Structure 1
Amino acid sequence: MQPVPDRSNVAAMTQAPPLMVFTDLDGTLLDHDSYRWDAATHALDALRAVGAAVVLASSKTAAEIIPLREELGFSHWPAIVENGAGLLAASETHVGPTADYERLRTLLNKVPMGVRTGFRGFGDMTVAEVAQITGLATDAATLAKQRAFSEPGLWAGSDEGRRHFIATLAEMGVSAREGGRFLTLSFGQTKADQMATIIDEFRPGQTMALGDAPNDVEMLQTAGLGVIVANPHRPPLPPLPGEGTGRIIRTDRPGPIGWNSAVLSVVERLGKDRKDNIHG
């Protein structure tokens, strides 16, 4: 995949975009197995053509998001990182270690060993282990370990033990959320929280959100149109309020293929509405 030229300019940023797309990555814009986005190229080109904004919203770190955002050609828009625990500003190219992550790891290590034993966070793993469980190359796994706001990990204990672990953390002010693959610990901010901040700043004409996992639900419900992207690698999300009215829809095809179809339909409708307004 070749990087897409960033065609942003200051003037474009001063105008409210006609459409702002908030998108999850793994299993949504990125293929679950290959992490590729090629199948969504047509829709991404269409979004650029109409001046739409694309805000990446993922459990990935800023270190992972920065090169991907540039590759996609949307570095001039902010991104939501680490499951909503942090925000990457437009054109920002570096996020270093933070006090949030250090405090999170300190609290995690205060959980009694008998309660914590089923959880292994990225901070407990080597780069090789992160690469193995994610399927990422070594360089990409190194970026995934550069946490600033949250701690994803795997739970290997019983369901009862997991509930006890989550409840213990909650008493410490730490929240735990299920994502596509991992149990992610943070201080509670969500993708929807950061989404609201971005919408308030840029005032887009319309909003759309796409995701496939439980940690995307609030984001899907916040957008004007929510799209549940099919992911055969995990149980489907339960029916959500708004599906009956069409405010939340589901794709038939998985990953970037389904993403491409859903976004193209919205861009086409946006173009039709513009023509109707001009000739109406």
Structure 2
Amino acid sequence: MIVFTDLDGTLLDHGTYSHAPADATLSRLAAKGIPVVLASSKTGAEIAPLRAEIGMTDVPAIVENGAGILQPGADGSGDDSAYRRIRAALDTLPVDLRSAYQGFGDWGADGIATKTGLSNAAAALAAQRQFSEPGLWSGTDDARMVFLEHLKSQGITAQQGGRFLTLSHGATKADRMDQILTQFGNPFSIALGDAPNDLAMLHHADLGIIVQNPASPALPHQPGEDSGQIIRTNAPGPAGWAQAMTAQLDTRIT
């Protein structure tokens, strides 16, 4: 068995960012040698300390919404050439298009803290990007289409999240799941998440678990729910995560 999990609102409490309610279940998974792959929009520098906290330093993590993988033991301070290529591509754009997009690299840690509400320390980790560039578009819709076409010609794609327009070289969480599943010999896979951007990962797993998040609108009914490939938790956040994974361990692992 292998577990892929989103962080905010799933393994981490939406309000406190604590994983304490899931700690006993995480320890049980570790004792059984079951890898837990963290999958998030966070950077490697943000995820590495959390991965160490839950005892999964020797397991890869999916970072920057699938744009990259944090390798076992890495601290997120490695090769940033993919990120620098994105920044270089932005600087080849006509001035009117370039000025309408401001990203994390334009703001720096202080600006990221202001825009996101992160602490200065957390913003500094979010600024340590390797694979993708989140930012805000301030131009017209027509200009945005031209902006995206320019970037597409250089192999860069864009994904609109709840707030940021994020540029990357195109890989997704599901793509990275395939890489990691192959690495581990394609065991039975479970994925947990709470948001629309987790759905591809949930559907890609043998079992997808939608974790309740009262702070966000409930995800609509999924086709996999009719067959049992997708299930939902009754409790929110890490408490729901723990209940669901405890049930799976009790059922599938002796």
Q: 1:250 aligns to what?
A: 232
Once the two structures are superposed, residues 170-224 of structure 1 have per-residue CA deviations (whole angstroms, 9 ceiling, x without a partner) of 3432112244553321000111111111111112532111122333222111111
Find the counterpart in structure 2 of residue 14 from structure 1.
Answer: none
Matched residue, 2:191: 209
User: Which residue of the other structure, out of 257, 267, 270, is the alignment partner of 2:252?
Assistant: 270
Aligned AA (2:109): V
Task: Give the C-alpha shift of residue 160 in structure 1.
Answer: 6.4
Give how far 1:132 is off.
3.4
| 2:85 is equivalent to residue 109 of structure 1 | no
CA shift, 1:105, in A, is 1.1
Separation in 2 of the partners of 1:190 and 1:78?
15
Q: How far off is 1:94 after superposition?
A: 4.6
Aligned match of 1:85? 67
Identity percentage of aligned residues: 51
Counterpart in the other structure of 1:140: 122
Q: Look up the SS of the partner of 1:152 in the other structure.
A: strand
Q: Letter of the aligned partner of 1:209 in structure 2? A: A
**CA 1:105/1:207 → structure 2, altered by over 3 Å: closer, same or farther?**
same
Deviation per CA, 1:46-101: give whole Å up to 9, x if none: 21232211011111111111111111111011111111111111122353342211
1:140-192 per-residue CA deviation (whole Å, 9 max, x = no partner) reads: 21011000111122445666665664455334321122445533210001111
TM-score (ref. length: structure 1): 0.80
Q: Equivalences for 1:130-169 in 2 at 5 Å?
A: 130-155=112-137, 165-169=147-151
SS of residue paired to 1:229: strand
Aligned mates of 2:93, 2:221 — CA distance in 1: 35
Question: How far apart in 1 are the matches of 2:221 and 2:142?
Answer: 25
Deviates more, 1:141-150 or 1:203-212: 203-212
Q: Tell me if structure 2 keeps the 8 A contact 1:58–1:83.
A: yes
Counterpart of 1:201, as a letter, is Q
For this pair of structures, how many residues does the alignment match?
Answer: 254
Counterpart contact for 2:69–2:176, Cα < 8 Å: yes
- Do structure 1's residue 53 and structure 2's residue 35 form an aligned pair? yes
Between 1:84-93 and 1:106-115, the stretch displaced more is: 106-115
Indicate the residue corresponding to 1:96 in structure 2: 78
2:19 counterpart residue number: 37
| Alpha-carbon distance between aligned partners in 1 of 2:44 and 2:240, rounded to the nearest angstrom | 25
TM-score by length of 2: 0.88
Gaps of 5+ in 1: 1-18, 275-280
153 and 254 in structure 1: CA distance in 2 versus 1, 3 angstrom threshold: farther
Q: Which of 137, 143, 152 lines up with 1:170 in the alignment?
A: 152
Kindly tell me: are residues 241 and 61 of structure 1, through their superposed partners in 2, closer, same or farther at Cα, counting changes over 3 Å?
same
Structure 1 counterpart of 2:40, one-letter code: S
CA contact (8 A) 1:178 1:214 kept: no
Following superposition, the deviation at residue 26 of structure 1 comes to 1.7
Contact preservation (8 Å) 1:97, 1:147: no
- The alignment status of 1:223 with 2:223, answered yes or no, reads no
CA RMSD of aligned residues (A): 2.4
Amino acid at match of 2:247: S
